[in-house]
Structure 1
Amino acid sequence: MIPVTYFDGRSSRAHPATLAVDAQQAVLRDDTGAELRRAPLSSLRVSERVRRAPRLVTFADGAFCEIADHAAFDRMLSATGHREGWVAKAQNSWRMAGFAVLALVALLVLGYYVLLPWGAAVMARAVPPALEAQLGRATLASLDNGIVGPTRLPAAEQQRIRSGFAALARPADPGHDYQIVFRQGGRIGANALALPGGTIVVTDEMVGLAGTGAGMMGVLAHEAGHVARRHGLQQVIQASAVGALAAYMFGDFSTVLASVPAAILTLRYSRNHEREADAYAIAVMQRNRLPPSALADVLMALENRGAGKAGKNDERKPAAADQAGKANDDEGDNFLSTHPHTRERIDALRAAGR
């Protein structure tokens, strides 16, 4: 028998007692040895071990015993054939607790790098084409609201680029209506942006750098790859995972997609998205007998231009640089800032052209 503190369930008074097991029955006696109660073991509830906290044995009518001597109680339980579940054992094992923490971290990493991108891609494909086109129009309106200006590109040059893109043999993509629009870049500089629905915005600065030939066709094919794979929507959905999951489950994308225009303007494509868009551009250029290295030349020119501007900035006085940091965003928000991993991409494009 082991010492316990007994509460009869009718008052808060504690009664010193002892607990023993006799013929598969729990026998409770007071401090004089008189039997207080007897109950089948199967009718009792035994609390899990929680470090040094007293364990409880609860009777069917709500009365219970508190047991402080864990070692003696463990021996009694073992003698009755009682076995604790693995959860209770894990709660009291530092080794298993540590393993659980590591497993949780591994699950979170797996979820962030694998499950989250996969789920975002599934959700992006579930957005109806009409709604995607509407988001593209809203994003273009946001761009026109002070970020970019009216194009100064001659109409003939615009038409040459549009005709060149329209003539490209590309994979079928019935869900998107591709349109090329031109804008004065302003603070986003030399850039090309793929908007949801198929609109591709090309800045005058990008045309000035890439021209109207194979290099520009490579830029447009790359952006078409982002549109076809819905990379922009994926990035936005991935950034608002909880809201996106609720939208997907309940079929109401309005709350999440309301933030798409602003998010599209600030997104940075992932490494995998850039690889996919470049692979799409390479396939299109090879199919149309255009050298993929022409796109690599554009990226190299952009990188050299960025390096040149950085060098000029380094020559400024520190105070002037601090004051100009926000005012001269056009030097940082160009094609390379929204389409990172340039060196890796240039090497892959040149390799594809060999």
Structure 2
Amino acid sequence: MNLRILLILGALSAFGPMAIDFYLPSFPALAIAFGTDVEHVQLSLAAYFIGLALGQLVYGPLADRYGRRGPLLAGVALFTLASLGCTLATSLEGLIVARFIQALGGCAGMVVSRAVVRDLCDPVGAAKVFSQLMLVMGLAPILAPLGGGLLLDSFGWRSIFVVLTLFSALCGLGVAAWLPETLDRSLPHPPLRGAFREYRRLFGDRAFIAFSLAGGVAMAGMFAYIAGSPFVFIQLYGVPAEHYGWLFGSNAAGFILVSQVNARLLRWRGPAHLLRRAIWVYLACALALLGLALARTEALWPLLIPLFGCIASLGCIIPNASACAMAGQGRHAGSASALLGCLQFGIAACAAAMVGVLHNGTAIPMALVISVCGVVAVLCALATARLATPMH
């Protein structure tokens, strides 16, 4: 896969999730602008999660039936228009609706990019490409909170959505100019009316579900961290708000580093083997984090060490789980990618919500949800060992 296509796919994969991290620093400003509180502003984040989860189910069948480029261009255009709508929002309700539509457009890049990788690569090659995409995607959680904070201080909250509008428009131009159609037209393409039947088939594919859940539940732990870390870092341990982005970015850097190491390890071991090893590292770090949270340490740094291990290990878990889940899906790669993404973000939204439900003024809720995710992810990974796959 050439560098130009890789960069386009990385940008497409990133700009949906980037719209989450980019506007997090603006929550207090949005609350003031709309005369409400931060808790109600968080509804715009919940709406975005729901849109990401549900929208993917639509793009998968469309990408399998009509090709990759058409649905992708439509999704990018929708994201661009909705980002402009966010910029012009005059009420919180308007912003929530625009964010939901924005997510419906943004998830097209996530679905189609995975399908394109499946079209062009074998399972091991796909795992390597997914690891390389982590390098591009991983820059989003490093740069987005810092960039969002700078834009907020300099130009106000609306400038954040102006930048998202321009960025997605550039992505659309890149797709139109340089991304070829990768769906093999010689293969029969499933009709749209068979979409539900295809999803039912995928739910019956034990290998697909086991690998999807192993990666999705582990990723849900990351969303628990995203939901809980602002309170833990800033309010509980007194980290200045302007330094939050650096702590957030250091964990993202670990994620990027491990994803690149994973790409090299794939020369000697299959993605399923690496997944089953990395998942134990994730669980060990999660349990260590929970133990320290229960001990209620006076300093923050003991918590940062196992937290770094949890997030960094995802650089190995997510690409390998995605590659294994997508293997063998062939002409149904779009639908498989859609269901994979829906499961991931649906579970992630639940994990993030549980951190808020369990909130008790300590780091325990965040650590507990991450640990539960670790236990479930290990069980799913162990289940994959009993299934016949070509990627050991």
What's the TM-score bracket when you normalise by the shorter of the two chains?
under 0.3
TM-score by structure 2 length? 0.22
Higher helix content, 1 or 2: 2
Q: Which has the higher contact order (CA 8 A, sep 6+)?
A: 2
Larger radius of gyration: 1
Which protein has the bigger strand share?
A: 1
